[in-house]
Amino acid sequence: MSTDDRNRNRFALRSTVSAVLDHPLAGLERRRTAVAVAYLCALLGLFVVSYAGANVTVDDVLLDTLSLGFDHVSTVLIVAVTVTITMVPLAYAIWNGGPGLAFAIPLVPVALGDLAAGQYVLGVDTAVALTAGAAASSLALYATDVRTAGSLRPWRTAGGPAVPRLLSVTVLTVVAAFGIAQFVAVVPPRSLGRYAPFAALWLVPFGVVASYWAGEVRTTVATRTDHADGDRADT
């Protein structure tokens, strides 16, 4: 590969990264979005180290038995995963908006766990991650529009949210709800009991999405009424 080709590839990569960091579904401010991405990369690094300690052997001896450092890494990873699934997405949604990234954050540790296990399991962790993701996604939409509109009821302001963002959040909410419906249908009561405390988070996406679409319907009806009144006045 020539130097020109390498330069073009680097430029293309930088352009792609910039486009992702600047995308409204990722966040409002590029630096804050980059912090969130760096956090997820650090989480990935912890996962790799922990996985290596539990699976890689040296002279038929697992690495985590050779050093206490691997135990410390595993402990930190457990805490980080718990916080990432439950608290980080909601905090990020308020801090930087970005409904797409806010939805993805809690799913990252779950995906890493499924990858390590070599199979997909719709368990309590996945259900909690989907619920937190849906809540964070809708909260990000709301927090962004509160800043823009200067109102605690941004769906009542002129213009409302950008329709693509609202559609994206709606789709993410529906996908998460479908996953939870499958979870409820197949898991035993004990698992449902573990998930139950997190079910209250569904009040956030259902309330936000319903309020926005109700506002869109009111706006559409009012616009059509104004057009009809104008046509009658012209005649």
In a domain, 229, yes or no: no
Q: What is the token pair recorded at 188?
A: 């035993």
In a domain, 115, yes or no: yes
In a domain, 120, yes or no: yes
Q: What is the token pair recorded at 139?
A: 């909260």
pLDDT score of 232 more than 70:
no
Among all chains, which residue has been given the structure tokens 């616009």?
223
In a domain, 160, yes or no: yes
Dump pLDDT digits (tens) for 120-171: 878 999 999 999 999 999 999 999 999 888 888 888 775 556 688 899 999 9
pTM: 0.85
In a domain, 1, yes or no: no
Give the structural domain span for 112: 8-223
In a domain, 71, yes or no: yes
In a domain, 161, yes or no: yes
What percent of the chain has a predicted confidence (pLDDT) above 90?
54
Give me the pLDDT at residue 8, please. Answer: 61
In a domain, 217, yes or no: yes
**Strand, helix or coil at 57?**
strand
Count how many domains the chain has.
1
CB-based burial label for 90 (10 Å; 0-12, 13-18, 19+): buried
CA distance 61 to 18: 44
